[in-house]
């Protein structure tokens, strides 16, 4: 590769046409070569599948034997109608709504609180940071294994609560299954958001705190009038990322509750797996995916609009 580059270079110097090449490809055409693998990858693994996803959703698509000559007729919105006339699908979107209503505010409040405490602490910084990040870096499958028993019928939490334990127990209780999953995901992901906030806190001007302190504002006042507005861009990012993560929910309901009881913790992505892969209806699954993505984009737009502020 480098030899070819060398020859090109010498040619450029000797050849007056090299000016044209520069104008066409830029000063270092090698940049395009360096980027080629990435561009090919994006085309193959992102661009093509996105287009394919939309195409599948509007056609009567099914799995055929490799090499079989089959046609997939255009069916308009039939897949969408089929999907959303299924009560389970509608329920799964509602479940994600419940999840987000618990998970997102909890995430924002706890991560900002812990990040600002961590930011000021002098002792045991490394220990605290490591312990806060551990759940985030550990596989959800491994942690779910523990939570499964913690919140099981005769698990530690119920043993601790004694007569106060919910009946039916957490994970088999229609009203509690999704909230437990929401709390689990909050706990699991919090370290990442703490990191985001820690970085953002460094950008809050120190003299704002001094000013507030001179004006007689106590720590709580300072937190609300200096810290909270100061980290607003990070808050927006936390809102967006946690919403997208929540909409992608699959592993936790799959392992903790199996989507139950009575579909009360089923999620769209879990249904996409059940319908698309297990039941051979990839077209219906794709339609659900499309609706889910549009819903997430709408929520993200609203968050950006109302939490992002005007001069961001």
Q: Which stretch binds another protein (CB under 8 A): 72-80, 99-107, 290-298, 302-310?
A: 290-298
As measured in angstroms, the least distance from the Cβ of 311 to another protein is: 21
Measure the CA–CA gap between 162 and 118, rounded to whole angstroms. 34
Give ∠ CA 180-183-188 in degrees, rounded to 5: 125
What are the beta bridge partners of residue 59? 74
Instruction: Work out the number of other CB atoms within 10 angstroms of the CB of residue 131.
Output: 11
Residues 94-113 that bind another protein (CB under 8 A): 113
- 149 near another protein, rule: CB under 8 A: yes
The label of the residue with tokens 């999907």 reads 83
- 24 near another protein, rule: CB under 8 A: yes
- 231 near another protein, rule: CB under 8 A: no
Which pair of tokens denotes residue 56? 């599948």
Kindly tell me which of 82 and 187 has the beta carbon lying closer to another protein.
187
What CA–CA distances, in Å, run from 256 to 3, 142, 158, 186, 208? 57, 12, 16, 15, 46
Q: Which stretch binds another protein (CB under 8 A): 10-18, 82-90, 166-174, 188-196?
A: 188-196
- 236 near another protein, rule: CB under 8 A: no
Residues 114-143 that bind another protein (CB under 8 A): 114, 117-122, 125-135, 137-143
- 195 near another protein, rule: CB under 8 A: yes
- 298 near another protein, rule: CB under 8 A: no
What are the beta bridge partners of residue 232? none
Instruction: List CB contacts of 153: < 8 A, sequence separation 6 or more.
Output: 169, 172
What are the DSSP calls for 113-179, one per residue?
A: HHHHHHHH--SSHHHHHHHHHHHHHS-HHHHHHHHHHHTSTTSHHHHHHGGGS-SS-GGG-TTTHHH
As measured in angstroms, the least distance from the Cβ of 242 to another protein is: 10
Kindly tell me which of 19 and 175 has the beta carbon lying closer to another protein.
19
Kindly tell me which of 51 and 175 has the beta carbon lying closer to another protein.
51
As measured in angstroms, the least distance from the Cβ of 88 to another protein is: 17
As measured in angstroms, the least distance from the Cβ of 154 to another protein is: 6
As measured in angstroms, the least distance from the Cβ of 220 to another protein is: 9
The label of the residue with tokens 């329920």 reads 91
Q: Which stretch binds another protein (CB under 8 A): 59-67, 76-84, 86-94, 98-106?
A: 59-67
What CA–CA distances, in Å, run from 136 to 101, 130, 174, 193? 21, 10, 27, 10
- 39 near another protein, rule: CB under 8 A: yes
């Amino acid at each position: 590769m480098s030899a070819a580059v060398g020859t090109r270079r010498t040619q450029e110097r000797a050849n007056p046409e090299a000016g044209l090449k520069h104008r066409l490809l830029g000063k270092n055409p090698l940049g395009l070569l360096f980027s080629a693998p990435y561009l090919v990858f994006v085309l193959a693994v992102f661009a093509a599948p996105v287009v394919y996803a939309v195409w599948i959703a509007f056609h009567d698509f099914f799995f055929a034997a490799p090499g079989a000559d089959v046609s997939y007729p255009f069916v308009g919105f039939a897949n969408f109608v089929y999907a959303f006339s299924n009560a389970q699908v509608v329920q799964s979107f509602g479940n994600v709504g419940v999840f987000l209503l618990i998970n997102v505010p909890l995430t924002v409040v706890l991560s900002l609180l812990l990040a600002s405490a961590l930011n000021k602490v002098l002792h045991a910084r490394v220990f605290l940071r490591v312990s806060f990040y551990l759940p985030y870096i550990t596989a959800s499958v491994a942690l779910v294994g523990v939570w499964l028993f913690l919140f099981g019928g005769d698990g530690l939490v119920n043993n601790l609560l004694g007569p106060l334990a919910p009946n039916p127990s957490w994970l088999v209780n229609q009203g509690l299954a999704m909230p437990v999953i929401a709390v689990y995901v909050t706990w699991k992901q919090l370290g990442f958001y703490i990191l985001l906030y820690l970085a953002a806190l460094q950008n809050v001007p120190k003299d704002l705190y001094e000013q507030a302190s001179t004006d007689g504002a106590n720590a709580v006042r300072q937190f609300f009038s200096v810290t909270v507005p100061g980290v607003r861009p990070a808050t927006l990012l936390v809102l967006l990322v946690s919403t997208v993560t929540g909409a992608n929910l699959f592993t936790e309901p799959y392992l903790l509750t199996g989507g139950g009881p009575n579909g009360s913790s089923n999620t769209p992505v879990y249904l996409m797996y059940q319908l698309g892969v297990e039941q051979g209806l990839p077209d219906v699954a794709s339609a659900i995916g499309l609706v889910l993505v549009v819903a997430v984009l709408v929520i993200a737009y609203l968050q950006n609009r109302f939490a992002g502020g005007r001069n961001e």
